[in-house]
Structure 1
Amino acid sequence: MPGRRGARAGRGWDAIPPRTATDTPETDTPETRKPARSADPRSESEIAREICLRQLATRPRTRAELSKVLVRKGISEEVIAEVLDRYDEVGIIDDAAFARAWVASRHHGRGLARRALANELRQHGVGAEEASEALEAVDDESEAETARALVDRKLRTATGAPDAVFRRLVSMLARKGYPAGVAIRAVKDALAARDEEAAEFADAIDPDAMASDADPLS
């Protein structure tokens, strides 16, 4: 039946004419058409400022840290410079103040030496000048005192042969950034003080009195 097939192919009286570019379905009207998804109405600067404030709400940040976050979020270099320059002007970000606070907190709280502190400041993007100024607060005397305090605290629970204890304590100080000379001196002094205290305690004990206390028939 070629005629019928021809009609179905579009050559008969019941053929459906092809749609043209000007044809519009009855349901495709301004009232029924879905509106296009609107873009973020905020400017790029507003978005950048909001990102920065969220970051600063958790802890102080350096300019370099905020810049890295903004780059990851797709903010343009021009807007990053504009926003961060403004934050510098009003004191919202201050790398020098960040460095001072970081050194004070990590030296007294974690016992880190200048070398470890300098490395951490560098990782946070603090410049050499700001880092050097902040590290002046940790002098040789402060470093030696902090190292000795760390060793004294560890010695309270240290067990094992003396040479093994010595190596563990020196390694602990090295991990915190202390130079070898400072670490060895701190451990030697602490061990000597402990041995001296133990000797004084032993001398103060009366052996006859101890024997008397131990003998239930005396």
Structure 2
Amino acid sequence: MAGFGRRPKRPAREAPEHDGPADPAADPESVARTICLNLLSVRARTRAELAKELARRDVEDDVAATVLDRLVEVHLLDDAAFAEQWVDSRHRHRGLGRRALSQELRTKGVESEVASAALDELGDDAERSKAAELVRKRLPSLDRVEPPVAARRLVGMLARKGYGAGLAYEVVKTEMAARGAELEDEVDGLEGDDEVAAGRR
């Protein structure tokens, strides 16, 4: 017998009705909050970054402000902590100096006072030490290059990473001297050199 042992199909049940609206767009704050939490689950963000993304998704300014304020209250959004972590990570892993870090924080929308406080945590000794480390790593590849040319390339490398010209040249001169390469006086003032300004390697 066809169909023996099979239960007759029951008519499909209709989806239960919800008390609230089914469309999440009807709750703008919930939508905005979800957008922010999804972004924060990937990596830390600044308030400006989240605000920009909410604006891109047509979230009203007042709604965005309410959600962002709440995230700050519950410590899920903290520009000061973000800046400190950013400076520490980018300095240690990418070897960036204060100038480059300041520019990056500005791009992220971190206020100048907050950025300055984070950069102050990066002491002069730490910046000098990292610059020297970068130069020492590069020096072996320049052993056959004339000292003035090598110095220009090294200072240019440090300049691109955000180190001031004075610090860069001082570190380069010291590290080259340690390898027996003395620089002549005419090499001073490399910050104005065309090669450095052009960012050549």
What is the TM-score normalised by the length of structure 1? Answer: 0.69
Matched ranges for 1:50-65 at <5 A: 50-65=34-49
Aligned to 2:146: 161
Determine the C-alpha separation between the residues in 2 that align with 1:75 and 1:118: 29
Residue of structure 2 aligned with 1:170, choices 155, 160, 174: 155
Kindly name which structure, 1 or 2, has the bigger radius of gyration based on alpha carbons: 1
Is 1:192 paired with 2:148? no
Is 1:125 paired with 2:109? yes
Matched ranges for 1:36-51 at <5 A: 40-42=23-25, 43-51=27-35
Aligned to 1:74: 58
Matched ranges for 1:134-145 at <5 A: 134-145=118-129
For structure 1, the residue ranges without an aligned partner over 5 or more in a row are 1-37, 197-218
Matched ranges for 1:88-127 at <5 A: 88-127=72-111
What is the TM-score normalised by the length of structure 2? Answer: 0.75
Determine the C-alpha separation between the residues in 2 that align with 1:59 and 1:86: 18
CA deviations 1:131-177 (Å, max 9, x no partner) are 11111111222211111111001112235332221111000001111
Q: Say if 1:58 and 1:41 are closer, same or farther in 2 by CA, change over 3 A.
A: closer
For structure 2, the residue ranges without an aligned partner over 5 or more in a row are 1-20, 182-201
Q: Count residues in correspondence.
A: 159
Determine the C-alpha separation between the residues in 1 that align with 2:23 and 2:90: 41
Percent of pairs identical after alignment? 51
Counterpart contact for 2:80–2:115, Cα < 8 Å: yes
Determine the C-alpha separation between the residues in 2 that align with 1:114 and 1:132: 10
Amino acid at match of 2:152: R
Question: With CA pairs under 8 Å and 6+ residues apart, which has the higher RCO, 1 or 2?
Answer: 2
Structure 1 position 39, deviation (Å):
7.5
Determine the C-alpha separation between the residues in 2 that align with 1:192 and 1:41: 66
Aligned to 1:181: 166
